[in-house]
Chains A and B, each alone.
Chain A
Amino acid sequence: MMDAGPNITAIAVFVAFVSLSLFITWWASKKTHSAGEFYTAGGKITGFQNGLALAGDFMSAATFLGLTGLAFIGGADAMLYTVAITVSWAFILFAFADRMRNLGRYTFADVVAYRLHPERMRVLAAAGTLTVAVPYLIAQMVGAGSLIETLFNIPYLGAVMIVGTLMTIYVVFGGMLATTWVQVTKAVLLLAGGTMLLVLVFAKFGFSIDTLFQRAGDLHPRGRGVFLPGVLYNDPISIISLGLAFICGTAGLPHVLMRFFTVPDAQQARNSIGYAVGIIGYFQAAIMIVGIGAIALLIGDGEYVDEAGRITGGANMVSIHLSRLVGGEVFFGLIAAVAFATILAVVAGILLSASAAVAHDFYARVIRKGDISDDAEVKVSRIATVVIAGVAMGLSVLFQNVNVAILSTIALAVAASVNFPAIFLALFWSGLTTRGAVAGGVTGLVVVVVLIILSPTIWVNVLGNANAIFPYAYPTLFSVAAAFAVTIIISLTDGSERAATDRAGFPAQLVRSEIG
């Protein structure tokens, strides 16, 4: 089925998307001069546009392709992910939206550095950003490379070059304005494509949710057992860890947090995340229905599933196969092109956040201590973008065969254990000191890395040991707890002069964070 040659619709839709995105970049480049315009589109994005862009940041190929595949394999358990993702966005709205927007300018580092030691906190935040952004970029690009190889018959190296070059062009020339509009375009395409897929799948069952679930239960090798929870994880620690990885991790993703600053004020920040919750929630629910529909349709059809019940081309291909089955070659081409567009838009946002961490937080604020012209800072950002993109492309070629899930786990776990505790305590706890925040951040990072190495994903699957020393897939319950504990204990026992300044700064920060 897959060797039928390049799909004309896929190529046409993809070329149209790339042309439109390059046009957007050209348009944005004429409006992008200052550092504020480069990092945050001058704060002129509206709440609704930003809501779409935020939702787009999270509706990556990993969620669209990965979660449908997971629903196919894990059945009901895939919902542990989709519900956690939606709840995490509502939590970001309640806890972070207002205060972040009122305190920050370009990056989340502005917020953690507000009353704490500016240089030390920015070094920590920049390190936290890069340890999230680089594995995330590589995960997306490796996934993109293999996907494009399968869908368009383009060699892996060529696919990585296309994705890497396009994301660099968007960010270098169009900054946040181009990145946002490319993301908005893709979000609309993905929502439209996903909704069409949902409707077409539903139509196969006469729009009856009863028939759809009945058929899935009848056809699955485990029968109605596919709806039993506990297939992927069956102990409370794994499940709580997974929940924390998404709830705290999403709230610590630098490219998501950066979008708070692209709107004019706290009210628009709040509105935009409100829109994002609605869009993401709808999409997550749709993915679950499509995934269960895939069980009924793909197993029923037989053409896409081998004797052992495995899906041709791997679990990530579930929604792609399904689109061909329910919508024919044209719809298949559309979905394939949208999946490609999704990856492009997501990597551009991550790249921009990494470049802001290096150029703004590290170079302009720490090395030059703020003594740098606007023009020079934008120039440094553009150089940083090219260098980071080059490194990510190189590493994607080197790590072609690495398990993408490991990289995504690392990125999310680091965001939850390093960035999240620092931001959370900086916003809400007057007792936080610089020494505490730095000690907690370093602890979080070390615990995450050590536990992931000792976990089944690396200790067993990569290093070939029989049993994992740390038996859980996600380290977050332990690493987040350790980071919080160390931050709080060190802050409480911190008698330094700086600690007094840190604590004394809280009332002023509180007023600013509430009224802007």
Chain B
Amino acid sequence: MSDEADILADPEFQRILTLRSRWRWGLSGLLIGAYLIWAVGGIYYSAAYAAPFMGIALPWGMAVGLVIIALSIVLSIAYVRIVNRLEAEEIVERDKHQ
């Protein structure tokens, strides 16, 4: 228990905790927000959603949907890399402690 209290009080642990939660909620909010705006927007701007995307027959709404899918993949890869690196720092930090 005191071990855990020690870790919790460590400013380095707190720094990493804050960073991780910033990424966690930032990326979640970004993607879920993008989805909801795109999904609900379809009701009000349906004509624009069905319009051809930059000169090809693919409709705008579906093009943006595909972009959100691609964004999910890109942000997931970024998140995995960032947090893997943070975790490596964290382990180095903990080893210094012991």
Contacts and interface: CB of A to CB of B under 8 A. Distances in A.
Contact of A514 (B20, B40, B66, B70): B20
Interface in B44-98: 46-47, 49-50, 56-59, 61-62, 65-66, 68-70, 72-73, 75-77, 79-80, 83-84, 87, 90, 94
Contacts of A267: 84, 87
A258 to B, nearest CB: 21
B7 A511 contact: yes
A283 to B, nearest CB: 10
Given A90-B76, A93-B76, A514-B20, A229 B46 contact: yes
B39 A243 contact: yes
Given A76-B61, A229-B46, A281-B70, 12 more contacts: A76-B62, A94-B25, A214-B57, A240-B39, A242-B39, A243-B35, A271-B80, A274-B76, A274-B79, A288-B66, A511-B8, A514-B13
Nearest to B59: A227
B47 A228 contact: yes
Contact of A79 (B7, B32, B65, B80): B65
Contact of B61 (A79, A89, A508, A511): A79
A510 interface: yes
A113 interface: no
Interface of A: 76-77, 79-80, 82-84, 86-87, 89-91, 93-95, 98, 209-214, 217, 224-225, 227-230, 234-236, 239-240, 242-243, 247, 266-267, 270-271, 273-274, 277-278, 281-282, 284-285, 288, 507-508, 510-512, 514-515
B93 to A, nearest CB: 10
B56 A87 contact: no
A384 B54 CA distance: 57
A271 B70 CA distance: 18
Contacts of B72: 86-87, 89-90, 277, 281
Contacts of A217: 57
Most chain A CB inside 10 Å of its own CB: which residue of B13, B23, B58, B62: B62
Contacts of B7: 511, 515
**Chain B interface residue bracket vs A:** 35 or more
Contacts of B80: 93, 270-271, 274
A273 B84 CA distance: 13
B13 to A, nearest CB: 8
Nearest to B21: A428
A507 B5 contact: yes
17 contacts: A76-B49, A76-B61, A79-B65, A83-B69, A90-B73, A93-B76, A94-B27, A227-B62, A228-B47, A228-B49, A236-B40, A236-B43, A267-B87, A274-B76, A282-B73, A285-B66, A514-B90
A236 B40 CA distance: 6
Contacts of B61: 76, 79, 227, 229
Contacts of A214: 57
A84 B76 CA distance: 15
Contact of B39 (A80, A224, A510): A80
A50 B47 CA distance: 42
B43 A230 contact: yes
A227 B52 CA distance: 10
Most chain A CB inside 10 Å of its own CB: which residue of B1, B35, B79: B35
A506 B24 CA distance: 19
Contacts of B76: 89-90, 93, 273-274, 277-278
Given A76-B49, A79-B65, A90 B39 contact: no
B61 to A, nearest CB: 5
A68 to B, nearest CB: 15
B33 to A, nearest CB: 10
B69 A98 contact: no
Interface in B1-49: 1, 4-5, 7-8, 13, 16-17, 20, 23-25, 27-28, 31-32, 34-36, 38-40, 42-43, 46-47, 49
